[in-house]
Amino acid sequence: MNKQSFSADNAGSIRSVSSPVVVALDYPDQTQALAMAALLNPHQCRVKVGKELFTAAGPAIVEALHKLGFEVFLDLKFHDIPNTCAKAVAAAADLGVWMVNVHASGGRRMMEAARNEIDKKTHKPLLIGVTVLTSMERADLADIGLDIEPRVQVERLAKLTENSGLDGVVCSAQEVDLIRAACGKEFLTVTPGIRPEGSEQGDQRRVLTPRQALDAGVNYMVIGRPITQAADPALACERILAGLS
């Protein structure tokens, strides 16, 4: 297992950042993503590369962000047969990323295969399972045949993720209490759906403010549009960080 907290040393990565904030660089190209990164301080936050940016810019964007001194969460949410998923996370490890994730709903064998591949690597990124997307509410789960509250499915998938040997889960900050009770305090929680007071909720459904998330005990909070779409992104990030101290 490769457990880290935001104050722990992250062997093999750029640096260890004593901050829970991970800024989502959701941009259509490398130029815009790097312009945003240039406004951020790699001592104060990490960055996340997701499907849009990675599809457009490829591994070069990870390398460029590493050169700027950022630790990178590669948020590609792999979900495939065990062999394919395992090879994908292995390729992510070879990029030197700090964190990579898979969909927990891919099941135990898929997650165990991913764990085994990461464990063979010299550089072992944190391996995280996505439970229920923070954009989903009860009605969305009903649409896919799950007539239950998101919390129920989150707890079920968090236990499966832990039993499959992963380091933590993506969930809403609203569910951190549940995860702590079910999986203990060493198990990491990575929480998108963070909305500072007064900011647009957009497509997110299960949200908390940064301060509420910190008080709930999240390890890492992923924040995109409230920073990247702000009139002054650097100031927006600074205000969020100030509210956490």
What does the binding site for ligand LLZGTKA7 look like in residue numbers (CB under 6 A)?
24, 26, 50, 130, 133-135, 170, 192-193, 202, 204, 222-226
* Residue with smaller CB distance to ligand LLZGTKA7, 26 or 167: 26
CB of 48 to ligand LLZGTKA7, least distance (A): 6
* Residue with smaller CB distance to ligand LLZGTKA7, 84 or 229: 229
* Residue with smaller CB distance to ligand LLZGTKA7, 14 or 132: 132
Residue number, nearest CB to ligand LLZGTKA7: 224
Phi-psi region of 96 (alpha: psi -120 to 50; beta: other; left: phi over 0): left
CB of 193 to ligand LLZGTKA7, least distance (A): 6
Our answer to whether residue 77 is catalytic in this structure is: yes
CB 176 within 8 A of CB 215: no
Instruction: List, in sequence order, every beta strand (DSSP E) within 92-187.
Output: 99-103, 126-130, 168-170
Alpha carbon distance 219, 17 (integer Å):
12
Catalytic residue among 3, 67, 77, 87: 77
Which residues, other chains included, contact 62 with Cβ-Cβ below 8 Å and sequence gap of 6+?
49, 54, 72, 74, 95, 96, 97
Active-site residue list: 77
